[in-house]
Structure 1
């Protein structure tokens, strides 16, 4: 039995993992899907206090400590690889492994948008134009990602504007990410090769690469397969 904390990417909350959670539970594991502040059912929190990257990192750490989880596998998808990677450092010996699902990875002093040389300006302009939030994708943006019409409908319906500061705040790492026990799950239909920063991390003896032939949102396109990968780590 493995304990998982699952964190979805930009715009999405815990419900994104519903099918994966069901598969993991059926296999005897203990999954916890987390909605970060300002997203999903916690969208109202964005109006109470400013939400930045540290808010998301702290929420993941607090969840692990509040539930007193040990030997936990932290799973971050897409954007959430950045706060999950930082949280993995902070929980110390509570961590068993960190898993990045087609995810961004944190680099000390860098932000989510700083690695987007061509798209950074567009993302920052979009955040500025929409009151500090990154607007969700539309149905057309999910074309070519191995999703059924129902899956796309669920993705669109489950998305909420993403707090912009979490994308522009800089990550802080106390030690090299390559020191952590980690698995990177690359979704080949989104892009066939890991990004250069991930490729460099995969040179570490503590990192491993797993590939899956689906799009960027495997919890919607291939939840059973994703759960099997997670359960087999």
Structure 2
């Protein structure tokens, strides 16, 4: 029995995984969607990146989970990648879902593809939070109007401190057993750092012909990918 710990990206909470968790449980596995501090039902709780890492570690240890597959989507790949090395032999695999990956001493902001200054300004201009996207921002991502409405309606401002705080890695990320899920509508190729990791023996690539939020657009397909990853 595999225990899946599911962590969604910016603005989202545990609720984002409802349609992925159900088939995982139906297949006889554990599914533990996690809301990070400062988001969704945990709004108002102090939040930084290392707090998010500890959120994940605490979930695994509190439930005494073994044979764990940590799943990180988008921003959450950064704390998930750090938590993976901290849970030791409890870890079976990490799955990065169209996500950022941590670099020791780097942050989500420092690697922002449009430039750190733009994201820093957006956060500073919104009281220290990254404002959720509007419905129009989800166009072209293989989402129905109903799915977009659900995402927008459930999103909450993302704590800026978690985006600016640097990651801390004690060993090379490429040593982790990992699957990277690339969502092709969000870019045909992985980022340069991910491409480098995929050249190693412990990482493999899986592609999905969908947008950046596959837990909404293709939840059944994503669940099958997670089950396949757990079987490796």
Q: TM-score, normalised by structure 1?
A: 0.97
Return structure 1 stretches of 4+ with deviation > 4 angstroms: none
**Aligned residue in 1 for 2:14:** 14
**Aligned residue in 1 for 2:203:** 207
> Compared with structure 1, are the counterparts of its residues 117 and 22 closer, same or farther at alpha carbon in structure 2 (3 Å cutoff)?
closer
Contact 2:107 2:164 in 1 (8 A): yes
| Pair 1:32 & 2:28 matched | no
**Aligned residue in 1 for 2:122:** 126
| Pair 1:96 & 2:92 matched | yes
* Matched ranges for 1:1-233 at <5 A: 1-45=1-45, 49=46, 51-116=47-112, 118-233=114-229
* Residue 185 (structure 1) shift: 0.4
Aligned length: 229
Q: TM-score, normalised by structure 2?
A: 0.97
Task: Return the alpha-carbon distance in structure 2 between the equivalents of residues 92 and 150 of structure 1.
Answer: 40
* Residue 117 (structure 1) shift: 5.2
Task: Return the alpha-carbon distance in structure 2 between the equivalents of residues 26 and 222 of structure 1.
Answer: 17
RMSD: 0.8
Listed one character per residue, the Cα deviations across residues 7-52 of structure 1 (whole Å, up to 9, x for unaligned) are: 000000000000001111112111000000000000131xxx4x21
Task: Return the alpha-carbon distance in structure 2 between the equivalents of residues 27 and 94 of structure 1.
Answer: 21
Q: Structure 2: which 5+ residue stretches go unaligned?
A: none
Task: Return the alpha-carbon distance in structure 2 between the equivalents of residues 117 and 150 of structure 1.
Answer: 29
* Residue 120 (structure 1) shift: 1.8
